[in-house]
Amino acid sequence: MSTENDNSSLDNLNFDNRFIRELPGDAELDNFRRQVYSACYSRVNPTPAQQPRLVAYAKEVAEDLGLSAETCESEDFCQVFTGSRLAKGMEPYALCYGGHQFGHWAGQLGDGRAINLGEVVSQRNQRYTLQLKGAGVTPYSRSADGLAVLRSSIREFLCSEAMHHLGVPTTRALSVSLTGKQVVRDMFYDGNPQMEAGAVVCRVAQSFTRFGSFQIFTARDDLDSLKQLVDYTIRTDFPELGEPSIPVYLDWFKEVCRKTAEMVVHWQRVGFVHGVMNTDNMSILGLTIDYGPYGWLENYDPDWTPNTTDAQGRRYRFGNQPKIAYWNLVQLANALYPLIMRAESLQQALLAYTETFDAGWQAMMAAKLGLAAFEPSEDDALVNELTQLMQACETDMTLFYRQLADIEVSAATNSPADFLAMLQRTSYEPLSDENRERAMRWFAMYCVRSQRNARSPLERSTAMSAVNPKYVLRNYLAQLAIDQAEQGDFGLVRELLDVLRQPYAEKADKHSFAAKRPDWAKQRAGCSMLSCSS
């Protein structure tokens, strides 16, 4: 693998690679699948791409890293961010971690198809880990090939950036590129494998440390490595908490609980369903991480999951995400217990999750409905009735809340007919007489409640439109972009990326991106349910 290209601005990136300098690494340097003990990482080089070709890049992420458009559109950029060349300072490695998958301890998992290139410190003194997903096998690949395909890579690239612009805490994506290699995938594990175009996403985050990064050491009774990783994480990512100690460990865990709650509130606000909330997919920084079989609610259904693997138990369905996040935090608390030895203190720290989530959810729902504040005595019933109505009517969640902002609610000018027309317009089935009557009762209750806000119609509409997006990455839109990209046309990928940069803005020429799911997409692969397969 080449490392020579001193004229490239990519060689001017400031890599300090603190993670591998300060934490225990795998003594075995050969890249073969194995159990890795007493190590946070294994050194491994990416597999060079055969014919790298850039599909798209995120200019905002590039700017954060200090990369110009000229650099991002260069051949060298494509070489580096498909793993074909190591820029100066890069020291690639894969992370070791374990995790609970669908509620069951799975033992060692690790970065099976992700390779960190290193950690960059930007000119603004911000730390970014650059990670390639789909760049080849690692010691943690188990029986897999370490590669990714174009469809999943486009979905991850677009969703990472869409979530950021929605205001949801998330890892980012710098680029997505073709490798020139064909990869075999059985998309639905049904015995029908196909050849697909290989691709690599460059993911970017302050850290990719997960709950499972700590769990693996406790499960193996390796408390020395556990302490080293906890202390490193606090000093590097939570320095404001002070030098590591038992009280600081508790403060840190409480902060992780709080950040996790804030993230899940945002998921519920925009109708995002992660699909695979295993503990190895939970970021210690409260970031949305690992975009696999995710989806956005279209017709409102709290029992919906986009994951075919979860279709029977629906553990990770939309309405269960807050509880699963708490369950995962309990597993993290169990992993930290040997360092703290204070069960009651950890239980108290867990309250930070429930308190933050409950307060955040109430404030979020008040904002979505245009209310100045959430009043539980009235608003619990208001919200419960609305969500039941939306489910009964198969109402598109994104469209409904966005268009509710334009419905007049004053005593003198509100119109139940306008509300009913909007509800029908945003629903996937005709309104029954029962649901019409139910909707009129809810709307009357909502108008009375809204009239106490002392907001002008413009103020109410503006406030609601700031939290209720017009554009989200609907699965069918992502699939259309994938279909075109697989034919060599990346135009829709780039157009979607541009639209999703301003998800709350009105764009006169982009209304087609804010339309209901078409009938053809209801059951189509890639538009309704997805598997964990790449």
Tokens at 103, concatenated: 């509620």
Phi, psi for 502 (deg, rounded to 5) = -130, 70
Q: What DSSP string runs through 52-64?
A: -EEEEE-HHHHHH
Q: Is 127 exposed, middle or buried (0-12, 13-18, 19+ CB in 10 A)?
A: middle
Q: What DSSP string runs through 374-393?
A: --HHHHHHHHHHHHHHHHHH
Q: Is 351 exposed, middle or buried (0-12, 13-18, 19+ CB in 10 A)?
A: exposed
Residues 6+ apart with CB under 8 A from 55: 150, 153, 154, 157, 175, 176, 177, 178, 199, 485, 490, 493
Strand duo 114-121 + 127-133: pairing:
antiparallel
Q: What DSSP string runs through 123-190?
A: TTS-EEEEEEESB---TT-TTS-SBEEHHHHHHHHHHHHHHHHHT--B-EEEEEEEEEEEEEE-TTSS
CA 401 from centre of chain: 22
Distance CA 366, CA 523 (A): 34
Distance CA 158, CA 176 (A): 9
Distance CA 95, CA 203 (A): 14
Which residues pair with residue 198 across a beta bridge? 149
Q: If you count DSSP H runs as helices and E runs as strands, how many of each does the chain have, helices first?
A: 17, 12
Residues 6+ apart with CB under 8 A from 50: 179, 180, 181
Active-site residue numbers? 280
Are the beta carbons of 298 and 477 closer than 8 angstroms? no
Task: Indicate if the alpha-carbon torsion angle 457, 459, 464, 465 is positive or negative.
Answer: positive
Are the beta carbons of 447 and 411 closer than 8 angstroms? yes
Distance CA 346, CA 258 (A): 13
